[in-house]
Amino acid sequence: MKYKKLLDHKVDTIAFVITLENIDTLLSKSIIIEKLGLNIQHDSNNVRASLGAACRGKVPSGNDDTQHSKDLATLIYSSSPLSKFLASYLISLSSLTSLSFSSTSSSSSLNIFSIPFTPPSFFSPANMSTPRSIALSFAAKSQSEGAGATVRRSIGTPKLRQLSPFLMLDHFTVHPGAGFPDHPHRGQETITYLLSGAVDHEDFAGNAGTIGPGDLQFMTAGRGIMHAEMPNPNFGDNVGMQLWVDLPAKLKMCEPRYRDLKAKEIPTIQVDDGKVTVKIISGQSHGTDSVKDLAYTPVWIFDITIAPGGKIKQPLPIGWNAFAYTLEGETTFGEGDAKKVAPTYYNTVFKQEGDYVHAEVPAQAAEAGRFYLVAGLPLDQKVVQYGPFVLNSQEEVYQAMMDYQTHSNGFERAKDWESKIGKSMVH
């Protein structure tokens, strides 16, 4: 049976029903699911009792009761930052025989379709055991980009070409009169985090707006978008981070969209007796969840500031790629002999193994350390990129270029379109 893209469903709880003939494959390929602490029930009597409610009559019928009496495995998952990961993982294994959706509020303990749910155990600091070690740490070099903008690029360079699902990371500075005038995209998402100033944006679909200090904009290019990003002339220089995130192959041609996250919406917590401040842009930290799930590809994003003498153990999903970009001061990452100091403008890339990232600032430090910590689900797919077009094959890139030039297959509205904000460029 073919299913619609699960990643498009906005639900808090997803119930999966999997035949036991596939459960061994699932478990053998998915040590990460075991480590997440998901409660996989495959007791035949328990599952049969909930079969009617869970499957809603969608279990394929056979010539006799053999098809219905097969042992089944039902898996319930309800954590929004990871629900899409699980959906995409199960689909990739092609092990779904039936599924149903239920919009149920998340809680620490659930009992849906008579089958209990146990939250991922690694979210609890008490269960963390292995720190992530450092794979690479290097300075982001300054370079010109766009029209008059300056960026410190650390992902998307010869030093670190890609870190799936991340394609590019820019620490940008844009002066009034400079910026990123009208340009296209296809096949990726961009996440813009503004640290200071204000950015105006406008696209060929009529979307327009402004984000200010501490705000974020999540833009999904999908099948095609043409837009402009320019500094608002009333707020001086723009400084921020822009992250390009790859889209799963099945979503490369989805409809484009924007989602904004205002600074006032971002949960902020303090740990280590107030010496550490964590802005939870996406994901979970010390029992607090982010308020929105805004990207198709699962990512966790934190803005963390550590005062001298402070330290933090930040849990991250096992197996995800992760990095920390130092925005201010110096931060020491790792534990024991594996410690490494990351000065300002350094990108520190962590190995996938481990439960958490350890960060600290020595008590004798002259200033606090601030860093941008990001983790994302690696996508098992080929990446072929040509400028703003990110696809999975050379042929798809050629097609994107042709579609843009001929104003077709998603770029119809690009014909004769000019943004108003792009005209503010100083020539």
What one-character-per-residue DSSP string does 402-423 give?
Answer: HHHHHT-TT-GGGTT---SGGG
DSSP annotation of 303: E
Is the pLDDT at 42 greater than 60, yes or no? no
Highest mean pLDDT of the ranges 61-65, 307-311, 422-426: 307-311
Q: Classify residue 215 by burial, with Cβ atoms within 10 Å: 0-12, 13-18, 19+.
A: buried
φ, ψ dihedrals at 233, nearest 5°: -65, -10
pTM of the full structure:
0.72
Better-predicted residue by pLDDT, 148 or 229 = 229
Residues 6+ apart with CB under 8 A from 217: 190, 191, 192, 199, 201, 211, 258, 259, 260, 261
Residue 12 · residue 105 · CB < 8 Å: yes
DSSP annotation of 52: H
pLDDT at site 198: 94
Is the pLDDT at 310 greater than 70, yes or no? yes
Better-predicted residue by pLDDT, 193 or 14 = 193
| CA–CA separation, 304 and 269 (whole Å) | 10
pLDDT at site 348: 98
Average pLDDT, integer, range 375-394: 94
Residue type, 223: R
- Coil, helix or strand for 133? coil
Q: What is the CA radius of gyration of the chain?
A: 23
Tokens of 97: 């025989």
Residues 6+ apart with CB under 8 A from 230: 174, 179, 180, 181, 199, 200, 201, 421, 422, 424, 425
HSE value, Cβ hemisphere, 13 Å, CA-based, for 248: 21
Residues β-bridged to residue 289: 284
- State how far the alpha carbon of 230 is from the alpha carbons of 21, 220, 256, in Å: 55, 18, 20
- State how far the alpha carbon of 405 is from the alpha carbons of 302, 399, 410, 411, 414, in Å: 38, 10, 11, 8, 9
DSSP strand E in 66-179: where? 72-77, 96-102, 110-112, 115-117, 134-139, 141-145, 149-155, 166-174
Is the pLDDT at 203 greater than 60, yes or no? yes
CB under 8 A, 24+ apart: contacts of 52-58: 53/113, 53/114, 54/15, 54/17, 54/98, 54/100, 54/113, 54/115, 55/17, 55/98, 55/100, 56/100, 58/1, 58/98, 58/99, 58/100
Is the pLDDT at 265 greater than 90, yes or no? yes
Question: Across all residues in the chain, what is the average pLDDT?
Answer: 76
Average pLDDT, integer, range 394-416: 95
% of residues, the chain, pLDDT over 90: 58
φ, ψ dihedrals at 338, nearest 5°: -90, 5
